[in-house]
Amino acid sequence: MKTNKTRLRVTVNGETCEKEIPTGRSLLDFLRLDLNLTGTKEGCGEGECGACSVILNGRLVDSCLILAVEAQDQEIQTIEGLARNGGLDPLQRAFAGNGAAQCGYCTPGMIMAAKYLLDRNPSPTADEALKAIAGNLCRCTGYGAIVEAILSRAKQP
Ligand code: FES
Ligand code: FES
């Protein structure tokens, strides 16, 4: 019987790994089920909420919309890759310190979107910060605290 499996090799948060996976598995499920990287969340499963945001080869993507096999030999950064020496990254601390994480479900995706912005634009305006998280839904915070957290990590121009 045909197994419909694929051997996938990717680099996740700097570490290369290889796994045999069902060919139709999403990148989100691959991260959560095969690699046990459960920081990346599933919200809508259809590209609407941004809870599953990760950085794939330098692009911010919704991992629920991408097949894991599309990431063959590519580099992925997830929220787990931000922590340093067992401690929180300054951006994660900024979210915590500004009350930008309440239930926390959207937070990993928000932080990846914020990181993507700050890596490209270290001194964003509030408008730019708001646009950067436009694809990420939060039911708790009203977004103001999230924008404040992002701006607290902005460098003075
Ligand atoms: S779970 Fe991927 S966009 Fe909502
Ligand atoms: S903190 Fe609850 S959905 Fe954003």
Q: Which pLDDT value is given to residue 85?
A: 75
User: Closest residue (by CA) to atom 2 of ligand 2?
Assistant: 103
User: Closest residue (by CA) to atom 4 of ligand 2?
Assistant: 138
pLDDT digits (tens, 9 = 90+) for 54-101: 999 999 999 999 999 999 999 999 999 998 777 999 999 999 999 999
Cα(30) to centroid of ligand 1, in Å? 14
CATH number for 5-81: choose from 3.40.50.970, 3.90.420.10, 3.20.20.70, 3.10.20.30: 3.10.20.30
Q: Which pLDDT value is given to residue 157?
A: 72
| CATH code of the region 90-152 | 1.10.150.120
Cα 54 versus chain centre, distance: 3
CA distances 9 to 25, 31, 55, 74, 150, Å, are: 14, 12, 16, 8, 33
Rounded to whole angstroms, the Cα distance separating 128 from 126 reads 5
Residues of the chain with CATH 1.10.150.120: 90-152
Cα(154) to centroid of ligand 2, in Å? 22
Q: Which atom of ligand 1 approaches the CA of 65 most closely?
A: 2
pLDDT digits (tens, 9 = 90+) for 123-144: 999 999 999 999 999 999 999 9
User: If we measure between CA atoms, which residue out of 63, 75, 78, 59 comes closest to residue 119?
Assistant: 59
Confidence label for 1 from pLDDT (cuts 50, 70 and 90): low
In short, whether 106's Cβ falls inside 6 Å of ligand 2 is: yes
In short, whether 138's Cβ falls inside 6 Å of ligand 2 is: yes
pTM above 0.85, yes or no: yes
Q: Which two tokens stand for residue 55?
A: 């950085």
Q: What's the length of the chain? A: 157
Amino acid identity, position 46: E
pLDDT digits (tens, 9 = 90+) for 9-64: 999 999 999 999 999 999 999 999 999 999 999 999 999 999 999 999 999 999 99
Residues of the chain with CATH 3.10.20.30: 5-81
Sign, CA torsion 152/155/156/157: negative
